[in-house]
């Protein structure tokens, strides 16, 4: 039995697609292995959202070739889609496949002939229909990701994703429902629905994300659903209302802002203003005051002078996010932003980035403190925390929690009394039925 190892970079969609490829190998009689066990075939599923992502992929490919000279090296994903020649030029790479080859990747591997040397296979994105073979497990994860949508046509000035993912496509609801049932039967309490531009789900046929969620909520045994990143312009009042009404949908909104300055947002080609973004946040909080709202910020975008950076600081201070993911601007070839004037010096970008990171930690602790003394359900992760040895997991509003407990609780929803704040999250006490009743009367 040949052994296969998958190395995944990037977003939840990539992680889902790695699981899809892994199950494809298993159906063909291969065995999936994890380090330090050696494999006969290595599949590197790449990301290309930044130049750093490209560099990390190249480093990993070269490392695998160096440490496993007899293994077959297969590279796929967004970096492979964006620059296949750069990857094929690395001595030791056998096969380079595009994003649309992932669903049948095992077939390409089996038909590969070493006598022909390195090979590359790519389909034209615009001619493809979204098709994902159903998955039944999610190896090594406490929460299962389900890809419901692919592609983005927004074409923000800094983003290469539309070129490597192309047109927006949605999976049929029946296929998604069947897959969610598989994962619930495998023991998953939380399903994370994800996509490249999640909020556009179903628009091709006049459907919507809200309609799909209502169907998923009817599935027997469902614990809870979490929405991955949503573009602000795709969030409807109908969706906000549904999340507020349904306790099984996590009150966690990840809404990339990118900048709090109106002129920078225009240069980024983001189709909203800071005012419109703030109005959306106000709407969400009018329905669910305690909702966790997290975001992405790009620092050092061309033209971001000190005044515009301060506008971003002021804006995020007013909004009070639960957490901010900070990214330094990385010019991507063949994007409009790569050609813009007003480049910000790297030392200044580094300082601004650290300023935002420090502020994010302040917001993180401020939000966590609000829930001390509360009981929230936590999905327990499959591995204990390395530093403390405690069980760990996340609440519905994405608070990280540490607690004592049993390994058998993995993937289960456990009610936890949140007792103490730490640098990394909250410590709590798992509540048995009698303790839970007593605890609820005290909160």
Domain CATH number, residue 414:
2.40.50
Q: Is 295 helix (H, G, I), strand (E, B) or coil?
A: strand
8 A C-beta contact, residue 48 and residue 54: yes
Report if residue 163 sits inside a domain: yes
Which CATH number characterizes residue 67's domain? 3.40.50.12160
Q: Minimal CA–CA distance to 196: which of 368, 88, 77, 289?
A: 77
Same-domain check for residues 75 and 92: yes
Report if residue 255 sits inside a domain: no
Which CATH number characterizes residue 340's domain? 3.30.750.200
- Sign of the four-CA dihedral 25, 30, 31, 32: negative
What is the model's pLDDT at position 121? 85
Half-sphere exposure for 176 (CA within 13 Å, toward CB): 27
Same-domain check for residues 117 and 134: no
What is the model's pLDDT at position 335? 93
What is the model's pLDDT at position 437? 46
Same-domain check for residues 202 and 230: yes
8 A C-beta contact, residue 121 and residue 168: no
Same-domain check for residues 290 and 345: yes
Torsion of the alpha carbons at 164, 79, 94 and 25, rounded to the nearest 10: -70
Report if residue 257 sits inside a domain: no
Query: Of 317, 339, 367, which one is at a domain's C-terminal end?
Result: 367
Domain extent at residue 329 = 263-367
Contacts of 442 (CB under 8 A, 6+ apart): none
Q: Is 403 helix (H, G, I), strand (E, B) or coil?
A: strand
For residue 170, the cross-strand partners are 149
Quickly tell me which residue has 């993180």 as its tokens. 364
Q: How far apart are CA 94 and CA 70, in angstroms?
A: 11
Q: Is 335 helix (H, G, I), strand (E, B) or coil?
A: coil
By 3-state DSSP, what share of the chain in percent is helix, strand and coil, each rounded to 5? 40, 20, 40
Report if residue 169 sits inside a domain: yes
Same-domain check for residues 379 and 362: no
Question: Based on the structure, what is the number of domains in the chain?
Answer: 4
Same-domain check for residues 112 and 23: yes
What's the residue count for the chain? 443
Same-domain check for residues 140 and 117: no
Q: pLDDT tens for the chain, 443 residues: list them.
A: 899 999 999 999 999 999 999 999 999 999 999 989 999 999 999 999 988 899 999 999 999 999 999 999 999 999 999 999 999 999 999 999 999 899 999 999 999 988 787 888 877 655 455 778 899 999 889 999 999 999 999 999 999 999 898 789 999 999 999 999 999 999 999 999 999 999 999 999 999 999 999 999 999 999 999 999 999 999 999 999 999 999 999 999 999 999 999 999 999 999 999 999 999 999 999 999 999 999 999 999 999 999 999 999 999 999 999 999 999 998 988 899 999 999 999 999 999 999 999 999 999 999 999 999 999 999 999 999 999 999 999 999 999 999 999 999 999 999 999 999 999 999 999 996 655 445 444 44
Report if residue 258 sits inside a domain: no
What is the model's pLDDT at position 440? 42
DSSP H/E element including 385 = none
Report if residue 86 sits inside a domain: yes
Same-domain check for residues 62 and 30: yes
How is the beta sheet containing 292-299 ordered, strand by strand?
Answer: 252-254, 292-299, 323-328
Same-domain check for residues 326 and 362: yes
Query: Of 367, 394, 411, which one is at a domain's C-terminal end?
Result: 367
Same-domain check for residues 52 and 80: yes
8 A C-beta contact, residue 74 and residue 61: no
| 286 phi and psi angles, rounded to 5 deg | -70, -30
What is the model's pLDDT at position 438? 52
To the question of pTM greater than 0.85 for the whole model, the response is: yes
Same-domain check for residues 330 and 424: no
8 A C-beta contact, residue 161 and residue 46: no
202 is written with which tokens? 């179903």
Terminal Cα distance for the chain, rounded: 56
Query: Of 367, 394, 427, which one is at a domain's C-terminal end?
Result: 367
Same-domain check for residues 117 and 164: no
Q: Is 345 exposed, middle or buried (0-12, 13-18, 19+ CB in 10 A)?
A: exposed
What is the model's pLDDT at position 102? 94
8 A C-beta contact, residue 88 and residue 118: yes
Half-sphere exposure for 1 (CA within 13 Å, toward CB): 11
Torsion of the alpha carbons at 15, 20, 22 and 26, rounded to the nearest 10: 160
Report if residue 256 sits inside a domain: no
């Amino acid at each position: 039995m040949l052994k296969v190892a998958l190395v995944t970079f990037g977003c939840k969609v990539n992680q889902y697609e790695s699981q899809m490829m892994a199950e494809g190998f298993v159906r063909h009689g291969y065995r999936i292995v994890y380090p330090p066990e050696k494999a006969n075939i290595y599949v590197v599923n790449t990301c290309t959202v930044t130049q750093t992502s490209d560099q990390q992929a190249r480093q990993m490919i070269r490392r695998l070739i160096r440490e496993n000279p007899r293994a077959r090296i297969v590279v796929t994903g967004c970096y492979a889609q964006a620059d296949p020649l750069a990857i094929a030029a690395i001595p030791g790479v056998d096969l380079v496949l595009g994003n649309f080859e992932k669903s049948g990747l095992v077939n390409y591997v089996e038909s590969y002939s070493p006598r022909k040397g390195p090979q590359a296979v790519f389909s034209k994105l615009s001619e493809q229909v979204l098709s994902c073979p159903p998955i039944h497990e999610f190896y090594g994860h406490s929460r299962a990701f389900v890809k419901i949508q692919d592609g983005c046509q927004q074409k923000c000035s800094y983003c290469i994703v539309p070129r490597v993912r192309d047109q927006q496509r949605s999976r049929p609801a029946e296929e998604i429902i069947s897959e969610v049932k598989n994962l619930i039967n495998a023991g998953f309490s939380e399903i994370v629905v994800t996509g490249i531009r999640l909020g556009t789900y179903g628009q091709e046929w006049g459907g919507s994300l809200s309609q799909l969620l209502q169907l998923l909520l009817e599935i027997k045994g469902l614990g809870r659903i979490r929405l991955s990143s949503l573009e602000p312009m795709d969030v409807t009042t109908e969706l906000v209302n549904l999340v507020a009404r349904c306790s099984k949908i996590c009150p966690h909104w990840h809404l990339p802002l990118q900048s709090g300055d109106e002129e920078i947002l225009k240069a980024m080609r983001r189709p909203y203003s800071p005012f419109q973004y703030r109005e959306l946040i106000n709407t969400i909080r009018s329905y669910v005051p305690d909702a966790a709202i997290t975001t992405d910020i790009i620092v050092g975008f061309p033209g971001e002078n000190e005044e515009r950076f301060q506008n971003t600081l002021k804006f995020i201070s007013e909004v009070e996010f639960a957490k901010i993911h900070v990214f330094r601007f990385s010019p991507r070839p063949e994007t409009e932003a790569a050609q813009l004037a007003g480049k910000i010096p790297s030392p200044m970008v580094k300082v601004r980035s650290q300023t935002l990171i420090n502020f994010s930690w302040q917001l993180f602790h401020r939000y966590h403190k609000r829930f001390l003394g509360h009981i929230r359900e936590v999905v327990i992760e499959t591995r204990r925390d390395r530093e403390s040895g405690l069980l760990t997991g996340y609440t519905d509003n994405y608070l990280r929690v540490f607690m004592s407990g049993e390994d058998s609780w993995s993937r289960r929803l456990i009610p936890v009394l949140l007792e103490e704040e730490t640098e990394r999250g909250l410590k709590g006490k798992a509540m048995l039925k009698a303790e839970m009743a007593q605890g609820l009367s005290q909160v």
